Amino acid sequence: MTGFSTRAIHDGQPFDPRTGAVVPPIFLSSTFVQDGVGTFRDGYEYGRGGNPSRDQLQQQLASLEGGTHAFAFGSGLAGEDALLRAILKPGDHVLMANDVYGGTHRLVSRMFVPWGVELSTADFADLDAVRAAIRPTTKVLWVETPSNPLMKITDLAALAELGHAAGAVVVADNTFASPFLQQPLALGADVVVHSTTKYVGGHSDIVGGAIVTADAELADAVGFVQFGVGAVNSPFDAWLTTRSLKTLAVRMERHSSNAQAVAEALVGHPALEAVHYPGLPTHPGHEIAARQMSGFGGMVSIQVRGGADEALAIVRRTELFQLAESLGGVESLICYPSEMTHASVKGTELAVPTNLLRLSVGIEDAADLITDITTALQS
Ligand SMILES: *Cc1c(COP(=O)(O)O)cnc(C)c1O
């Protein structure tokens, strides 16, 4: 198999056979002419069922995650919803890491639990805790590593073994790492989930999601939900995402080196209680991360001495780190998870510390980013 960057640039991205255009054109058509009733050109009939731009993205994603099937959705949560509908029935239990993306927990607790699905959470950095929380009805183990926003690390190979012994589907949300830094399917996970809004898209200009698997039966079920429910990625967003994937490797290398530099500059800062970054040797998951990732990614979180007021003062003072939800774009962002990304889990077991700030370290010059955040911490 060719290398990651070669596949990122060429898989699913053939030049246009009619014109020779190096970049495949965007197919904005919602419907496709039939040569006779039921005789389709290349299988295309109607845009919800299939679109060449979406198919090209799906091929590229399947290749990059080491899967056989990928499905591109209108958002990460739309993909998660389709996946869970494909797997769960009333009475099934979902065991989720206790610091997943707030919206993922909300999706299950507010949409699936009322339909009879059971949900509980555990600390997935502690596999004994996971083992103890598995029930006879456990159908899904849902992990995010590194996790959001505390940057906890789960041993994916060990978790997959545990999940399979229990007969559960092991789902890895690979949004924070991206397929360039981590390949959950190769480590034993059954399904990879992405918010392509984040690193895969990488430029803060699209909202999208993806499901990738090498399990043909599960792929059939997810494909049917994608078609039957219809939360598909638009052709234009799919095309932009294929464009973005071509630079994923170089972006992730720069995100990782910048985040490492920012984290190292912040360690021991008198205004901070803690710096969470798996690239720091003092991080409790450092060794596992070093083994299962090829870099530590662009996300850093910090806990500010004092409390919420001190943390909120810092987000008012940074200039390059702009205050916004989301992550994974070329520009640096800062967020206050307890009132922003994780506001939906306030008061639950997933609530995050109120002195926590999350940094999405962009690909600007590291020295400028360090100056920006340390200046904000000092004043
Ligand atoms: C943003 C995010 C999601 C949800 O994706 P959307 O594209 O916003 O629907 C899921 N998981 C993680 C880790 C995320 O950061």
107-156 pLDDT, tens digit each: 999 999 999 999 999 999 999 999 999 999 999 999 999 998 999 999 99
Confidence of residue 348 (pLDDT cuts 50, 70, 90): confident
- Residues 6 or more apart whose CB falls under 8 angstroms from that of 31 comprise 45, 46, 47
For 312, the 3-state DSSP assignment is helix
Residue that has been written with the tokens 């056989």 in this structure: 68
Q: Identify the pLDDT of residue 74.
A: 98
Is 317 an active-site residue?
A: no
Q: Are 61 and 210 in contact (CB under 8 A)?
A: yes
Across the range 352-377, mean pLDDT stands at 97
> How many A from CA of 42 to the centre of ligand 1?
33
pLDDT of 254 over the 80 cut: yes
- Residues 6 or more apart whose CB falls under 8 angstroms from that of 240 comprise 201, 203, 205, 206
Encoding tokens for residue 220?
């059939």
Q: Is 196 in the pocket of ligand 1 (CB under 6 A)?
A: no
H-helix or E-strand spanning residue 322: strand 322-323
Q: Is 178 in the pocket of ligand 1 (CB under 6 A)?
A: no
The number of helix segments (H) and strand segments (E) in the chain equals: 13, 12
Instruction: Single out the catalytic residue among 48, 246, 305, 317.
Output: 48
Residues making up the chain, counted from first to last: 379
> How many A from CA of 37 to the centre of ligand 1?
40
Is 152 an active-site residue?
A: no
CA distance 293 to 176: 11
The pLDDT mean for the chain works out to 97
Best mutation site among 80, 108, 198 for ligand 1 pocket (most ligand atoms within 8 Å of CB): 198
Q: Is 338 in the pocket of ligand 1 (CB under 6 A)?
A: no
Q: Identify the pLDDT of residue 1.
A: 83
Instruction: Single out the catalytic residue among 173, 190, 237, 372.
Output: 173
> How many A from CA of 195 to the centre of ligand 1?
4
> How many A from CA of 141 to the centre of ligand 1?
17
Encoding tokens for residue 136?
């006879």
38-54 pLDDT, tens digit each: 999 999 999 999 999 99
Q: Are 65 and 192 in contact (CB under 8 A)?
A: yes
pLDDT of 286 over the 90 cut: yes
Across the range 178-199, mean pLDDT stands at 98
CA distances from 355 to 212, 301, 342 (A): 35, 10, 13
Q: Is 145 in the pocket of ligand 1 (CB under 6 A)?
A: no
Q: Identify the pLDDT of residue 351.
A: 86
CA distance 264 to 283: 12
Best mutation site among 175, 237, 299 for ligand 1 pocket (most ligand atoms within 8 Å of CB): 175
Is 198 an active-site residue?
A: yes
Best mutation site among 111, 194, 195 for ligand 1 pocket (most ligand atoms within 8 Å of CB): 195
Taken in order of first residue, the domains within the chain and their CATH numbers are: 4-245 (3.40.640.10), 249-378 (3.90.1150.10)
Q: Which atom of ligand 1 is nearest to the CA of 175?
A: 13
Encoding tokens for residue 337?
């998870």
CA distance 250 to 46: 36
H-helix or E-strand spanning residue 171: strand 169-173
Amino acid at site 73? F
Confidence of residue 96 (pLDDT cuts 50, 70, 90): very high
pLDDT of 90 over the 80 cut: yes
Q: Where are the alpha helices (DSSP H) in the chain?
A: 4-10, 52-65, 76-87, 102-106, 127-133, 156-165, 178-181, 216-229, 235-245, 248-266, 286-292, 308-317, 366-378
> How many A from CA of 47 to the centre of ligand 1?
24
Across the range 282-306, mean pLDDT stands at 98
CA distance 241 to 33: 26
